[in-house]
Structure 1
């Protein structure tokens, strides 16, 4: 059993590790914000995958980001080993007092164990119940109640050894002034000078998406009510094709597409300026919730308890309230089936109008 951390312990250098997708990285920000509040003078660094860097690079509480590039493995075994050793050397050179590993991968555990930090916090995952995992993490946090907790609450529980509770946990998304100016320029070029609604119908996983026809009906109904609609999506060819199809089904000219034109921080700046965000279970949905923009989220067979938008200014419409859904863990993520199809347009429209105070 690890010794309790003394109440007077005040770390100067802290490393947070999370190796997951964009939305997961955003949901680490409550941990970063809580650490900044408790230790205002500490240096806080984060280790993450290269592609998720835009989610955190503008966060004012973070000193530096350590990067793992998934393309290292394409360079061959020796080069990959050199990259990994250089990363561990860079971590050790920072002389961290605390490393908090929010990940379950062996890679993150090894980096934690070799960091040299006197306090190394990790989760006591059942699948990692062995001596090496315990050596890597000399403070282990139980995960027995994680099934009933939101991802934010799961992440925040890692701070329990430091005496920091999950009360008031707040996510945040940050962007730069040039990002905001770029968005204003694009809106001006599209002749959008007043309020607007952002719709992100796409996801990297099609099974999380609503039907294109219903999205187009929603857009036309909102446009008929005088609202300006802005469509967004990642530059992925499949997502761009979905946007084009939705546009082809819309009768209203009052819809603009900025799909594929924005970086993630620029998308955050757009959402921050919007009246309302409407989207599916995705990183932009979490961004809207973190920015406190009113958020209407459409969910299908995802673990709603874990991934619903975090905050008070959100509304969720769940396909499971209209028809049976398969268990989330049973989904073939490569399927083209759209499990949100049971959600009726009129219910989404009514929720949108309510959030818009129409």
Structure 2
């Protein structure tokens, strides 16, 4: 009997479940519908989520797991052996690998779990007792649905009704962001959180587009932009502010992951590329204008969010983000600032009156 043909696991034997997704922000958030499904199917089971320390805040306190096992991003050999020892002591019945990378496959294999469930990927499929395809000849499959398909090995009738979930901001995080809101004069405004980068050049809308977009907002007095991004985006922030010649409220490089949760809880709209903050905004039920370049909405659209997705139907999409065949990143950079402004107007107007919301806009997931 091949691994993929294994008989159904008896639900009564499932008491302790290991979940593995070490990184990154968006990918971890996209596993949370599967966590909801598992908690619904196995309310008494012990769920342990293995994640790298920089992203543990996304799972801690979400009410879906019993333990968060936070590991160093680069634990080294001794650290890795220590992690494996901890996992084996916990005597898991089932391990689900939401990642499929070499290290997560090794941890699942070495965990001592009785049943191991993962994706049918090259070179690593032998690790798992039960395999789930990650891609299908019929077309792209959303990442959330792929993760739910792993859960269906344990509970075949699992549906797609489960939404994203992240823990709320903590009091000290809210206090910090409330103070910034007051200092920047944002309390009387609608706040548009503008993510100015997604960590790599393939998802960079470009300085010119960002500046033109911000200039286009000048006449929209009731809406103020708030720049968000990581420390790596400080150079881009400087370029934007120098080109504009005026200050813009900015928290670029100033927020922890918990602070970012507090920021997006207060914001009225998120604008930015396919990224971790985009999925965080979706988890917090914020309206989203999402700019898709090399990735496909069919794989990574904001899950169950009120979203307008802007993209260009180029033959080179999706790509592996190693080099741009067009040499100009046209898939993202040809999205016009004017288009983004119109999408923002539509979404913000829908918050006060559903009449103007374009319900059939391509990419909406409701």
Give the TM-score normalised by the residue count of structure 2: 0.85
Query: Alpha-carbon deviation of 1:326?
Result: 5.5
Within the candidate set 227, 251, 275, 1:231 is matched to: 227
Q: Is the 8 A contact 1:99 1:119 kept in 2?
A: yes
Residues 140-149 or 92-101, more deviating: 140-149
Alignment partner, residue 250 of structure 2: 257
Query: Alpha-carbon deviation of 1:166?
Result: 3.9
Q: Is the 8 A contact 2:93 2:113 kept in 1?
A: yes
Alignment partner, residue 130 of structure 2: 139
Q: Is the 8 A contact 2:207 2:240 kept in 1?
A: yes
- After superposition, the C-alpha distances for 1:262-281 in whole angstroms (9 at most, x for unaligned) are 11121122112111110112
Residue 266 (str. 1) matches residue 259 (str. 2): yes
Alignment partner, residue 8 of structure 2: 4
Residues 200-209 or 165-174, more deviating: 165-174
Q: Is the 8 A contact 2:195 2:228 kept in 1?
A: yes
Alignment partner, residue 19 of structure 2: 16
Give the number of equivalent residue pairs: 339
- Structure 2 distance, partners of 1:240, 1:187, is 20
Alignment partner, residue 204 of structure 1: 199
- Structure 1 distance, partners of 2:341, 2:102, is 45
Q: Is the 8 A contact 1:223 1:229 kept in 2?
A: no
Alignment partner, residue 147 of structure 2: 155
Give ranges in structure 2 of 5+ residues lacking alignment: 351-366
- Structure 1 distance, partners of 2:243, 2:63, is 42
Alignment partner, residue 37 of structure 1: 40
Query: Alpha-carbon deviation of 1:209?
Result: 1.3
Q: Is the 8 A contact 2:148 2:160 kept in 1?
A: no
- After superposition, the C-alpha distances for 1:144-192 in whole angstroms (9 at most, x for unaligned) are 5286101111111101111152421311222323222221122112222
Query: Alpha-carbon deviation of 1:120?
Result: 2.0
1:335-346 alignment, distance < 5 Å: 337-339=328-330, 340-346=332-338
- Structure 2 distance, partners of 1:162, 1:99, is 11
Give ranges in structure 1 of 5+ residues lacking alignment: 74-79
Alignment partner, residue 56 of structure 1: 59
Q: Is the 8 A contact 2:272 2:278 kept in 1?
A: yes
Within the candidate set 206, 222, 225, 2:217 is matched to: 222
Q: Is the 8 A contact 1:220 1:252 kept in 2?
A: no
- Structure 2 distance, partners of 1:88, 1:119, is 16
Cα distance change, pair 113–261 in 1 and its aligned pair in 2 (3 A)? same
- Partner-residue secondary structure (3-state), 2:236: helix
Cα distance change, pair 224–307 in 1 and its aligned pair in 2 (3 A)? same
Cα distance change, pair 355–141 in 1 and its aligned pair in 2 (3 A)? same
Residue 193 (str. 1) matches residue 187 (str. 2): yes
- Structure 1 distance, partners of 2:327, 2:257, is 25
Cα distance change, pair 185–211 in 1 and its aligned pair in 2 (3 A)? same
Within the candidate set 64, 72, 81, 1:85 is matched to: 81
- Partner-residue secondary structure (3-state), 2:74: helix
Give the TM-score normalised by the residue count of structure 1: 0.86
Alignment partner, residue 323 of structure 2: 332
Residues 210-219 or 150-159, more deviating: 210-219
- Structure 1 distance, partners of 2:79, 2:130, is 28
Q: Is the 8 A contact 1:112 1:120 kept in 2?
A: yes
